[in-house]
Structure 1
Amino acid sequence: MRLIENEDEVLSALKSGDQNAFKTIYLAYYDKLCRYANSLSNNTTNVEDIVQEALMYLWQKREDITINSSLNAYLYRAVYNRFIGEIKKNKRELTLMYELQLSAILEFESFEDSKKEHYLQLLEDIISKLPEKRKEVFVLSKIKNYKYKEIASMLKISERTVENQIRRAFITIRKEVSGLKYIMILAILEFYF
């Protein structure tokens, strides 16, 4: 099924730099590609980024792109490929972060007691600066290892609120410490408690 009646004409105009041709393609496909990408992932913000990147690539490489099948098939494949690329990138980033945290905790374990105490005190000081509710949520989650659902039930708040409080606590931690100290704090939270 073709979404644009004169696809060859629109593609020809696109290749010559006609912005109206690009606008026609964008309007014809954007919503459909977002629905498709959303069927692959439930992260709406990420979905929109992926679709916009695929469409912008079409515009930026318009002179060089050869579409052998249909524009429809090309764009759906482009979105799929970008989605897979995003998954691989996120997986690499998570693996790297996990490796850094594991390395940091192994280093932490090799520290003398005074240096361990320094990092634990630093973490305690940062936590003590959090607003009361945020501190309570953070301690329940990261120190006492309760699940978000359990915390929400205990404190009679939504899981979304728990998630937001944890996110904001990490923003505060990030402002307080940076670089290797931040990774060390994350590692302590992840592996030590």
Structure 2
Amino acid sequence: MKKIECYIVQDLLPLYIDHACSKQTTEDIEGHLQSCESCKKLYEEMSSDICSALQTPEFDSRKIFCHAKKSVLAIILALAAVISCFVINAGGAWMGGRADISNLIVTILYVIFWSVFSVRSRGYVPLIKVSFAISCITFVSAAAGLIARALHIGGFITGILSVFSSIPFYGLRFFMDWTGLYVIATALSLAWLIYTWHSKRKLEHTTDLKGD
């Protein structure tokens, strides 16, 4: 077996570790490593570093599944809350009269649900997007209704736009008029929109940092 100098072996070690050397060169390097402790030690260190770099990050599949399950359930609950509120309050809002105590309770529960949902969804991308979308729709609807009341504008389009706030907040008609309802709905939905927008930006920034 031909003797190889240490500096040559050390230069060839990356190729040897990657199995990119010829058969003859591989045999010469292996023979050298058996007789040279310093090169053998360097080979072991380099092999260890490469293995650590190539090691696949560990993840808990059960934890990922649990998060996905929670997201799906939360979205279902959010849709259920919206649908339930619309079903219960739609009739009274369409008639335009005073709300009763059941409508007021539904509106209060609706506001509480979305407040809790917005806070709890801060760490989940799908949920914060749902919360942000609903807050945008509610704010646009409430602002449209308020502007229409202030300018005495009616019409089909205005009615359609304002329906996404007039029905959920219809319970406020238990103790105030439509103008007051739209003022409260606009203020609450604006606060909700700002909060969800800030949470969304913060979550996206955190995700980008993790990606880098």
Alignment TM-score > 0.5, same fold: no
TM-score (normalizing by structure 1): 0.27
Give the TM-score of the pair, scaled to structure 2.
Answer: 0.25
